[in-house]
Chains A and B, each alone.
Chain A
Amino acid sequence: MIPETEYTVRQGKHVGSEVSVTVGEPIKKYQTELKGIRLYINLKVKDSNENIIEERVEQGNSFLLNFMRMLYAVLTVSSYNDFVHKGVVRSESTDFLGDTVTVQYTVDGFHAWAPKEFDTHGIVVGTGETMVTPDDQELEAQIANGIGAGKMVYLFSDIVPTAVTATEAYIILRRSFINHSGGSITVKELGVIVWVVGTDKYKLIIRDLISPITVNNDYTLDVQYVIVVTV
């Protein structure tokens, strides 16, 4: 019988900064390069004159279960019952093979963009510090849109169309947040919420803890999520 071995993984300041994992067999190969859908976060703090005070790039850590549900929905054209119209029978219909089916759930799109001052979806920011879990449905402590204490003004949440490099294709989700609260605000978590169109449902698909970033009064925080695929 192969003895159990314990390993510890350290990941700096990010989520799960120290994880112990027990495995049942020794390592045969320790590291490999993986490709796939990756996530990066660009952060920029600017003062009221648009001077850049702080700028950094962080790893995006956390595609959530909801992100996979969204992918599943569009790649099966059937949607995902817990994700969309749970328990709602919409209509009888005929599928493209000519069979009569009960259309319980439809997919009408997932808006990750949001108009100015909508804090219901698009990129959102918060002050929570709790570790990300796969089934997170909201930020721990989302900062509300507004001008009062502890609030930030949410500008338009935008999506930049697909661009390519020699080996990559990527899109950028971006939004700016202005702090007119009268004091400084420290942002510790970020996320992306989609509005499931045609419903009243808003689903968190990405959540990340970041190294805290302080936004002084009248300063602006620019957030970009870059989603990349690499061949």
Chain B
Amino acid sequence: MSNHNMNNSSLITGYIVYTLKTPDGKDILRGVKHFDSFVRNFMVMIESVLLGQHSRFTLPPYSNATDVTGASVQLGRPSPPSGSSGGSSGDPYFGWSIVADAGDRLEFFGLPTDWGILVGSGDSPTTINFWKLESPYPHGRTVGSMNYMSSNITEPVFDGSYVRFDIKRIIINESDATQIVREVGLVGLEYRTRNKFLFARDVITPPISMPPKSMLEITIVLAGLLAPLNIFFRRDAGVGTDSSIRSII
């Protein structure tokens, strides 16, 4: 895409908004950064969504994504439409959820806990083919793990500046040691296969040092910026930050 070296006036971008809190809820640290790094898996996901499948038309070969184990697999697809006008039997769980339930609840049901908003201690720069966090903290309460709570997501709205939706998760360091967060990732769980795919990852600088029992609230804002409104304010993202960087894209 080297011929597209022009300024771009519209895009869907994101922010990571984080607040570190004491166990009793007092804010220790607030920050916001661009959520820059959608990786190849994300684009394969968009391709898969826009292609779907069809029982009669021969569609292009589907791209494979790379799941968090490193396996190259095809993303799941909805059932093809039946009949000439479409009535579909459908797969009620077509998609890749990023809205993870609480780690404890998932564990209780014997389900994977390593999806949704995840954090880790790796700090290597993201490359386009990244397929997992470098050093993710698994769900748990001991040193080397984090207690992942449930996620909340807002429905898409146009708020006057952005076409956006937000996803939020609280992560608690239940261990008795300080733990460092250097990376944040967004991992989608494919319901039918339970394969997990990293869609985006960013390195947090400076790293977030989480004292024992502290809570880290992470909100990822996915925001579409429409051309006539291509001015945005970080402070408008509801971040509680004093930063008021204003940008023209």
Residues of A whose CB lies within 8 Å of any CB of B are 7, 9, 11, 14-16, 19, 21, 23, 25, 27-32, 34-40, 57, 59-65, 67-77, 80, 93, 96-98, 103, 106-113, 115, 131-135, 158-162, 164-171, 173, 194-195, 197-200, 226-231
When each residue 2-13 of chain B gets 1 if its CB lies under 8 Å from chain A and 0 otherwise, what string results? 111011111111
On whether the beta carbons of B49 and A110 are closer than 8 Å, the reply is: yes
A-B contact pairs, 14 of them (CB 8 A): A34-B11, A36-B35, A71-B156, A71-B165, A72-B165, A97-B111, A159-B51, A161-B61, A161-B62, A165-B2, A173-B50, A197-B52, A197-B78, A230-B128
Question: Min CB distance, A198 to chain B, in Å?
Answer: 3
CB-defined contacts of B88 to chain A, threshold 8 Å: 108, 197-198
CB-defined contacts of B128 to chain A, threshold 8 Å: 164-169, 229-231
Question: Which residues of B50-67 are within 8 A (CB) of A?
Answer: 50-54, 57, 59-63
Given contacts A11-B227, A134-B158, A197-B88, contact A59 B52 (CB under 8 A): no
Question: Min CB distance, B124 to chain A, in Å?
Answer: 12
How many residues of B are in contact with the other chain, CB < 8 A?
91
Segment at the A interface, from B96-104, B141-149, B210-218: B96-104
Question: Min CB distance, B95 to chain A, in Å?
Answer: 4
On whether the beta carbons of A109 and B6 are closer than 8 Å, the reply is: no
5 A-B pairs with the lowest CB-CB distances in the bound complex, closest first: A16-B228, A109-B52, A198-B88, A36-B13, A61-B227
Given contacts A65-B156, A96-B93, contact A36 B11 (CB under 8 A): yes
CB-defined contacts of B226 to chain A, threshold 8 Å: 61-64, 132-134
